[in-house]
Structure formats: C-alpha cells, structure tokens
C-alpha cells in the first residue's frame, strides 16, 4: 500500500501581533478566511490523503465550520499555548498512524502555499526524514546581542524558513518525545525541534515561494489582499511561481 501523506494545518494561535480582535486565521482576505485558504491548498493537492486542523481551543466551532466543505479533513482539534504544544496535539491525533507516514506541518497563517511547494516537500521526503522550505534572505542578517553586532553570517548561506515542513512521522515523533521531556523547550518551528533533539537527522531544504507569506502584522494583510486578488483572477495555480531553486 502506498505511504499516506497527512497535512496538519496549525491554527492554534491567537494572532496577537496582528491584533484583529480574533485569531488572524479567521480574518478574511479576498472574501475567504485565511484558514479556509490554507486548508483548501492541501485538500486539493493530489498527494495529500488527510488534513488535520489544530485550532485555538476557544474557536473550535468556527474552525469546524471553515473546514466543513473540505472532504479530506479528518479532525479539527484544540491546540496548546505554544506552536510546539499545538504540533504535539496533532501528533496525538496521529497516534494510530505508522512511522513511515509523511506528515506536513503548515502554518494556517500562510494562506497562499502553492501546489508546487507542497510537491517539492513531498518528493524530498522520499530521500530525507525531514524537509524544510526556504527562500533566500534579501536583507543582510546579523546576530545582535545587547544592541551590538556579534556576528554577520555570509548572506548566501542564509535562508528564511516557510512552511510546510515535512517529516516521516516516526522521526518527528521521536524528536517531540525528547522535546516534551525538556523543561527548557523553546522552538519557533518543527524543524527546530528535530534539529535540536535529533541533531544527526539531516534536514533537506527545498525552494519556497515569496507568495507563501505568513500573515503576522497589519501590513501583511494589505499584501495578502493583493495576492488574493491576483491569485483569484488568474486561478490559484498561478501562485506557484518558484522564486529561486535552493536545491
Ligand atoms: N499556540 C499556537 C501558536 C501558533 N500556532 C500556529 O502557528 C502558526 C505560526 O504562528 P504565528 O504566526 O506566531 O501565529 P500566532 O501565534 O497566532 O501569532 P502571534 O504570535 O502574533 O500571537 C500560526 O498559523 C498559528 O495559528 C498554533 O498552532 N498554536
Ligand atoms: C514556522 C515559521 O513560519 C517558519 O518561518 C515560523 O518560525 C513561525 O514563527 P511564529 O513566531 O510562530 O510566527
């Protein structure tokens, strides 16, 4: 039997930096919620068998309503106080799945993920246990401590991570088992958890897309409205242009 692929749409946050008065994934851009757009991208993708939505506990009913039209959504569950706690909640839902299953964790706050990006992650999981999506840094990136520059890594080695981040389920399970036992657990993404707790697992980086932005602050909503208008006019497939191949 072919290996299953499960997409987890992480919508457990409250959107404090956007300050919309409700979780940002429930904000509409181009007449559709950010959450519905993110779920739709995976529900429509031929490689995805199942979609799990993790929602902020106080808004489960709205998430269930947003997910209702999508036939591959198998569960809408409550997340935790942190992104890693929300990933852990999804892993509990997937307890009955085999270790070789592919799992893709995606920020609900990224409504314009394209099919080509998802393809690249799924394909890379044939040869790797962990896969990240990156776009090249266009600014100079520096490490700052106490207001002073302490290092300036060469920009050509810098990449900005997007999602989805893909894993073989057994690998991300092992990493989270170690992470959840660590009282000092701090991570901003799932690759960070694998990198810290399973440092011997190589993380493959494939090319992302500048359109796959994370709606975080008010300016991002302005950009998202433009992308929604452009994508809806041209058909969502148009949102798949690759910016630069990192492979
Ligand atoms: N406890 C949390 C926190 C975040 N997320 C999800 O992880 C993604 C990236 O997080 P972020 O952009 O930080 O979203 P928020 O936490 O909602 O934003 P903020 O930090 O501004 O409150 C989002 O889709 C968010 O819903 C989650 O599932 N559970
Ligand atoms: C996972 C992520 O989108 C990769 O860039 C990012 O780390 C999420 O960070 P946030 O602070 O939860 O928005």
**Residue 138 belongs to some domain of the structure:** no
Q: Which residues line ligand 2 (CB under 6 A)?
A: 83, 107, 161-163, 188-189, 214, 216
* Number of neighbouring beta carbons within 10 Å of residue 165: 26
Residue 233 has a CB neighbour count (10 Å cut-off) of: 9
pLDDT, position 97 = 97
**1-32, pLDDT tens digit by residue?**
689 999 999 999 999 999 999 999 999 999 99
CB of residue 216 inside a 6 A radius of ligand 1: yes
Q: How much is the pLDDT for 2?
A: 83
Domain-embedded: residue 145: no
C-alpha 7 to ligand 2 mean position (Å)? 17
C-alpha dist (Å) from residue 219 to 134, 143, 188, 215: 22, 25, 21, 8
Q: How confident is the model over 221-239, as a mean pLDDT?
A: 77
Total structural domains within the chain:
1
Euclidean distance between CA atoms 207 and 159, whole angstroms: 10
- Residue at 143 is within a domain: no
Structure confidence by residue, pLDDT tens digits, 44-64? 999 999 999 999 999 999 999
Quote ipTM for the complex: 0.97
**pLDDT of 123-168, one tens digit each?**
999 999 999 999 999 999 999 999 999 999 999 999 999 999 999 9
- Cβ of 79 closer than 6 Å to ligand 1, yes or no, is yes
CA of residue 1 to ligand 2 center, whole Å: 34
- Cα 1 to the center of its chain, rounded Å: 27
User: Is 212 inside a domain boundary?
Assistant: yes
82 in a domain, yes or no? yes
Instruction: Report whether residue 17 contacts ligand 1, using a CB cutoff of 6 Å.
Output: yes
Chain-centroid distance of CA 85 in Å reads 14
Q: Give the predicted TM-score (pTM) of the model.
A: 0.94
In a domain, 30, yes or no: yes
Q: Which ligand is nearest to the CA of 220?
A: 1
Residue 37 predicted with pLDDT over 80: yes
Note whether residue 146 is domain-resident. Answer: no
Cα–Cα separations (whole angstroms), residue 27 to 33, 167, 213, 216: 5, 29, 15, 12
CATH number at residue 198: 3.90.550.10
Question: What's the pLDDT band for 233 if we cut at 50, 70, 90?
Answer: low
Contact 130, 171 (CB under 8 A): yes
Residue 202 sits in which domain range?
5-133+159-240
Reply yes or no on whether the pLDDT at 79 is more than 70.
yes
The shares of helix, strand and coil residues in the chain, as percent rounded to the nearest 5, are 35, 25, 40
Residue 238 clears pLDDT 60, i.e. is over it: no
């Amino acid at each position: 039997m072919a290996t299953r692929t499960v997409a987890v749409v992480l919508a457990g946050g409250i959107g404090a930096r956007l300050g919309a008065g409700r979780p940002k994934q429930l904000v509409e851009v181009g007449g559709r919620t950010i959450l519905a757009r993110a779920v739709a991208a995976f529900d429509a993708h031929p490689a995805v068998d199942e979609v799990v939505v993790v929602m902020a506990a106080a808004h489960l009913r709205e998430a269930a309503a947003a997910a209702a039209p999508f036939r591959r959504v198998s569960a809408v569950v409550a997340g935790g106080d942190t992104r890693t706690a929300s990933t852990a909640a999804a892993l509990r839902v997937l307890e009955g799945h085999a270790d070789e299953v592919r799992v893709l964790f995606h920020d609900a706050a990224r409504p314009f993920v394209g099919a080509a990006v998802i393809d690249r992650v799924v394909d890379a999981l044939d040869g790797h246990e962990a896969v990240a999506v990156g776009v090249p840094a266009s600014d100079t990136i520096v490490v700052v401590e106490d207001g002073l520059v302490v290092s300036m890594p060469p920009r050509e080695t810098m990449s900005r991570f997007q999602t989805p981040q893909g894993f073989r389920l057994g690998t991300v399970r092992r990493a989270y088992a170690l992470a959840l036992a660590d009282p000092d657990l701090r991570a901003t993404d799932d690759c960070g958890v694998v990198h810290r707790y399973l440092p011997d697992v190589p993380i493959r980086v494939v090319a992302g897309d500048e359109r796959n932005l994370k709606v975080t602050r008010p300016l991002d909503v302005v950009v998202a409205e433009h992308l929604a208008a452009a994508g809806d006019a041209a058909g969502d497939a148009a949102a798949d242009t690759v910016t630069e191949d990192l492979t």
